C-alpha cells in the first residue's frame, strides 16, 4: 500500500524537461534524419531547386509528422501488432491528402511544382521510421516533441540545400533577384556574371548534402563511422 502511495506522489516529468528538449535538439545537430540517419535523401534531390518549394515541403512534413506521431501514440495500445504498419500507412496517407488539398486550394503554383512529391510524403522513411521506432513505444507528448525535432531537422536541411541551389543556380532567393535581372542584364550580370546551371541539376543537391555531412563530421569526430 505504501508503495502505491509513493508512486502516486512521485513528481511528474515537466513538459519541457531536459529529456524532452533533447528530443527536439538532437535531430537538429548530431542525429539529423538526413545527414546522420541518411533518410529522406530523395526529397533533397527533387524539391530543393527553390527555397519556396523546400519551405512548403518542410512545413508539410512537419505537420504530417506531428499529427501522425500524436495519433499513433494515442492509439499505440489499441493497434494489433500484426497490422500496425497498415494503420500507420492509413494515418499518414490521410494526413497527406489533407495537406495536398490545402496546398491546391491556397498555394496552387507551389502545389503544381511539387507535383507528385507531396504524395510521396506517405513513403517518407523519416515519418514511417518515427511512427515505428518512437510513437509506438512512447506517450503522446514525447512523441510530439520527437516529431518536431525530426521535422525541423529535415526541413532545415532542405532549406539549406535549396538556398545554395537557387542562389547560384538561378540568382534568386524565394523568387527575388539577388544578383540583378538576368534578362535585362543589370547588376552582377552586367559585369559578366553567369548563373551556374549545374546547381539546378539533381546531382548538385547530393553534392551539397555530402559537403554538409563532411562539415558535420569534421566538427564532431564521434559521428565518423569506424570500420
Q: How confident is the model at residue 227 (pLDDT cuts 50, 70, 90)?
A: low
2, pLDDT greater than 70: no
163, pLDDT greater than 60: yes
The reported pLDDT for the residue numbered 10 is: 52
In DSSP notation, 156-221 reads HHHHHHHHHHHHHHHSEETTEESS--TTTT-GGGGGT----GGGGSHHHHHHHHHHHHHHHHHH-G
**Beta bridge partner(s), residue 173:** 176
Q: What is the mean pLDDT of the chain?
A: 87
Is the distance from CB of 205 to CB of 161 less than 8 angstroms?
Answer: yes
pLDDT in tens, 10-44: 567 777 788 888 999 999 888 889 888 888 788 77
Q: How far apart are CA 45 and CA 60, in angstroms?
A: 17
pLDDT in tens, 99-121: 999 999 998 988 888 878 888 88
Is the distance from CB of 162 to CB of 41 less than 8 angstroms?
Answer: no
Average pLDDT over residues 154-161: 94
Amino acid at each position: 500500500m505504501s508503495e502505491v502511495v509513493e508512486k502516486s506522489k512521485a513528481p511528474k516529468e515537466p513538459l519541457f524537461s531536459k529529456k524532452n528538449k533533447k528530443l527536439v535538439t538532437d535531430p537538429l545537430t548530431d542525429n539529423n534524419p538526413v545527414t546522420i540517419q541518411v533518410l529522406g535523401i530523395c526529397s533533397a534531390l527533387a524539391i530543393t531547386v527553390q527555397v519556396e518549394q523546400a519551405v512548403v515541403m518542410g512545413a508539410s512534413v512537419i505537420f504530417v509528422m506531428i499529427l501522425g506521431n500524436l495519433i499513433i501514440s494515442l492509439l499505440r495500445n489499441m493497434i494489433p501488432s500484426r497490422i500496425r504498419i497498415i494503420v500507420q500507412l492509413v494515418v499518414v496517407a490521410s494526413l497527406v491528402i489533407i495537406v495536398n488539398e490545402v496546398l491546391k486550394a491556397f498555394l496552387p503554383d507551389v502545389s503544381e511544382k511539387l507535383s507528385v512529391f507531396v504524395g510521396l510524403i506517405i513513403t517518407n522513411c523519416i515519418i514511417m521510421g518515427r511512427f515505428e521506432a518512437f510513437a509506438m513505444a512512447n506517450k503522446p507528448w514525447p512523441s510530439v516533441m520527437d516529431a518536431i525535432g525530426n521535422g525541423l531537422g529535415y526541413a532545415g536541411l532542405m532549406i539549406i540545400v535549396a538556398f545554395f541551389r537557387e542562389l547560384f543556380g538561378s540568382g534568386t532567393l524565394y523568387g527575388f533577384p539577388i544578383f540583378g535581372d538576368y534578362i535585362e542584364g543589370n547588376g552582377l550580370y552586367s559585369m559578366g556574371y553567369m548563373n551556374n546551371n549545374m546547381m539546378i541539376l539533381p546531382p548538385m543537391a547530393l553534392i551539397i548534402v555530402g559537403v554538409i555531412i563532411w562539415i558535420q563530421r569534421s566538427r564532431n569526430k564521434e559521428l565518423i563511422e569506424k570500420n
